[in-house]
Amino acid sequence: MENKKSVWVCLLTYNEEDNLKVLIPQINEEFSTRLSGVDYSINVVDARKTTDNTKQLCENLNVNYFVQPGFGQADAMRYAIKLCDKDLFFILDADCSHNPKYIPDMYNNFVNNDCDIVIGSRYVPGGVTNDKLSSQIMSHILNSVMRSILGLKTKDISGGYRLYDAKQLKAIKIASENFEMQQEILARMKANNRNIKIGETPIVFEQRLNGTSTRRLMLYIWCYIKNIFRIIRILH
């Protein structure tokens, strides 16, 4: 494989031990078979209030383990970006809703098409979401609004399965507190690079394998409303 770029795989976790037991071996399998020769590391950034044995599991599986300094998903993301020491920053959900089998396709899309970001997309041809109906409705509304504000043709604005150019990602400062950071990151990277190239690779989004989600619908809506005004300020 030509033009190899090193990859920092990021997993943000909160009591995801049971899912990591499945996910981490799958990630290793994809790199060892379909991306053989690509330098990579798997890095777990755990919540401060985690009560399971994620730390011990990471030690057993020879995976880098860190504890975020503050609270919330955006704080964990900021810390992870700071820790990244590879060419590319690859993030996927730690609950097994993002299947690692798409990692090679996303990597090749990035490298072969000279992208700045590649999103694992539910909404391009071949993409599917098996999320709850209420979440699907909110996602479609959000994507339509955000696509217009951001001035992007990207279909899946809110998808969290992403591969970033690490240098460009490190150049921005994330102000969000929660999961709405996905759109803010796109806005800030676009503000720094008006010719930003975003690729999309079709994926099937699954329900989490084990445990329950901590996401709450009303908080989800409120955070995105605030984020609309933040993004308008960033780009205009």
Could you tell me the pLDDT band of residue 139, with boundaries at 50, 70 and 90?
confident
Q: Which of 51-55, 160-164, 180-184 has the lowest mean pLDDT?
A: 180-184
- Which H helix or E strand runs over 149? helix 133-150
Q: CA 36, 40, 46, 52 torsion: positive or negative?
A: positive
- Which H helix or E strand runs over 64? strand 64-67
Give the CB-side neighbour count of residue 44, counting CA atoms within 13 A: 29
Could you tell me the pLDDT band of residue 211, with boundaries at 50, 70 and 90?
low
191: in domain? yes
81: in domain? yes
Question: Which residues make Cβ contacts (< 8 Å) with residue 105, sequence separation at least 6?
Answer: 201
> Pairing mode, if any, of strands 117-121 and 198-202?
parallel
Q: What value does the mean pLDDT of the chain take?
A: 92
SS3 of the chain: helix, strand, coil, percent, to 5 = 45, 15, 40
Number of domains in the chain: 1
2: in domain? no
1: in domain? no
What CATH number did the domain enclosing 172 receive? Answer: 3.90.550.10
Look up the domain containing 78 and give its range: 7-235
Could you tell me the pLDDT band of residue 195, with boundaries at 50, 70 and 90?
very high
pTM here is 0.92
Q: What's the rounded Cα separation, in Å, for the pair 198 and 186?
A: 9
